[in-house]
Chain A
Amino acid sequence: MRVYLDHNATTPLREEVLEGMLPFLREHFGNPSSAHNFGKRVREAVEEARERVATAIGARPREIIFTSGGTEADNLALFGVTNSPLASKRRKVVTSAIEHPAVIESCKALKKRGFEVVFLPVTPEGVVDLGAAEEAIDENTLLVSLMLANNEIGTLQPVREVAEMAKAKGALVHTDAVQALGKVRVKVEELGVDLASFSSHKLYGPKGVGALYVRTGLRLDPLLHGGHQERRLRPGTENAPGIIGFGLAVELAQEDLDRGMDRRIEALRDRLQRLLLERIPHVVVNGGGPRVPNTLNISFAFVEGEALTLSLDAEGVAVSTGSACSSGSLEPSHVLLALGLPPEVAHGSLRFSLGKDTTQEEVDYAAEAVASVVERLRAFSPLYEDFLRSELDLEQYLLRRKEET
């Protein structure tokens, strides 16, 4: 059996989306900027896609700038604001400790350019600390960037509350909503944000395309310089097939949400969580409070994540890990460390992200496979041996580790 539970990494392309894209990879090849009919036909389809994306997030079509994906949208937001004349008076950027690398690394680059950057801490549940936000956001703050849903643990962040704080101080607000769109309702007006990043391939659309919502009236500096496309904010001939696929994918994802697809997925996610907790002792569920319905992150203490994922891969189960061993860096995921987990527990974390086609049979099979793999690896983990000898339970162990550090 092959079970794909890594939908936060990417999703398969929807059949209807592929069908909708194919004509624009074949006969409708024109450049949307061309004046002739070849171009006009494609222009119409690109603008239709823009409307679809705008409708899904409650924005106006003009406010949608198509990009090459979520990372570019994040970069355009952060550098577009900090390179603009708006940055002459305000020199501070506030973000969180659990952002996607596209935001974290951009913020580190801004720090090098002389901006003051504050990485807000999160609660042990994985939600940004509102008290710390209140303290950090001041009259010198140019931009606040807070993700809507965390990619690793799925926690929903209090974007609306933080946006209100920012507005009160005259700061702009960006949200990386890449992991939220298609999973929960996302309306930019309700959130009160000025900028929002989206990606197509997280919601059964093609890869290589995303969008940045830019509130009317906000003037950004472009990252790239060239033609007039995307209101000069993203010059270069449009990725028409990708954009058209993205538009269809967003619309279909919205229809799925309206039909209650999220509740079906949530029930399966909760079943997976329950099965794993029943079968496997000494685990931590990472991320509390409201989460996106498809994501489950669990630390299987005293085993290492890459060993887990490779063993599971051999059983046909595809998941991902926040362990460092697989990423080439030495430290485990910054998100899991920000939750206060000790490294030997953070290293044993797996992210299960379900999709619209995930079945109960798959969930049950995965739970069984995880249980047997964890058991095999723990049998030869020296840390597990030491833990069992200590006769502590995991809660006591975690407390003791916290006191040590």
Chain B
Amino acid sequence: MMENFNYSQKVMEHFMNPRNVGEMEDPDGVGTVGNPMCGDVMRLYIKVEGDRIVDARFKTFGCAAAVATSSMVTEMVKGKTIEEALKISNRAVAEALEGLPPIKMHCSVLAEEALKAAIEDYLRRSKDEGDRRVQPSHKHPL
């Protein structure tokens, strides 16, 4: 049933000892991406101060590669500005993990998408807050 176990040591290391794992209290942005049908769902939380991502955490349902890419992307994003973070590509995540088996590349795509979704959520929230300061909004903050 299993075909591909040539994970790099780095992938296995991040899978067995994932960094920044677990929920975040009062995150400034949360992104959830993926599809349970395909076997991976990632949820990424970010904390932003000024324009800089000061903390990132994740929760992931998925295979070893999905866990490792989540772990790696949270490591990569910490300390970056929003603009810099948006430039993190799935390839960069895969490279930082010393490569992924071809059938697992979609996990790195998911990590990139989770990060983008969390940033979008942050931008939307800050816009909502800005709007509220001008005139009270009836929208529920997410």
Contacts and interface: CB of A to CB of B under 8 A. Distances in A.
Interface string B6-29: 000000100110100111000000
Contact of B15 (A310, A343, A384, A385): A310
A285 B5 CA distance: 27
Nearest to A323: B39
Contact of B36 (A321, A328, A344, A385): A344
A325 B63 contact: yes
Nearest to B59: A382
B39 A328 contact: no
A325 B40 contact: yes
Given A304-B40, A328-B103, A385 B63 contact: no
27 contacts: A302-B61, A303-B61, A307-B62, A307-B66, A314-B16, A320-B1, A321-B2, A323-B39, A324-B38, A325-B39, A326-B2, A327-B1, A327-B2, A328-B3, A328-B4, A330-B38, A343-B36, A343-B37, A344-B41, A344-B61, A347-B36, A347-B39, A379-B21, A380-B60, A380-B67, A382-B60, A382-B61
A306 B2 contact: yes
B58 interface: yes
A332 interface: yes
A327 B3 contact: yes
A286 interface: no
Interface in B25-84: 32, 36-43, 58-64, 66-67
A306 B64 CA distance: 7
B62 A325 contact: yes
A206 interface: no
A92 to B, nearest CB: 30
Contact of B66 (A304, A327, A344, A379): A304
Contacts of A302: 61
Pick from A304, A322, A344 the residue with the most CB of B within 10 Å. A304
Instruction: Provide the main secondary structure of the chain B interface.
Output: mixed
Given A309-B2, A328-B3, A328-B4, A343 B60 contact: no
B114 to A, nearest CB: 10
A311 interface: yes
Interface residues of B, number: 31
Given A347-B39, A382-B32, A304 B62 contact: yes
Contacts of A328: 3-4, 103
Given A307-B67, A310-B15, A385 B59 contact: yes
Given A324-B38, A325-B40, A382-B42, A306 B63 contact: yes
B22 A331 contact: no
A381 interface: yes
Contacts of A304: 39-40, 61-63, 66
A304 B62 CA distance: 5
Interface string A104-144: 00000000000000000000000000000000000000000
Given A328-B3, A379-B22, 18 more contacts: A304-B40, A304-B62, A307-B62, A307-B64, A310-B15, A323-B39, A325-B39, A325-B40, A325-B66, A326-B2, A326-B63, A328-B4, A330-B37, A331-B37, A343-B38, A380-B18, A381-B59, A382-B32
Contacts of A314: 16
A208 interface: no
A383 interface: yes
Contacts of B5: 310
Contacts of B18: 380
The 5 nearest A-B residue pairs measured at CB? A344-B36, A325-B63, A382-B43, A306-B63, A326-B2
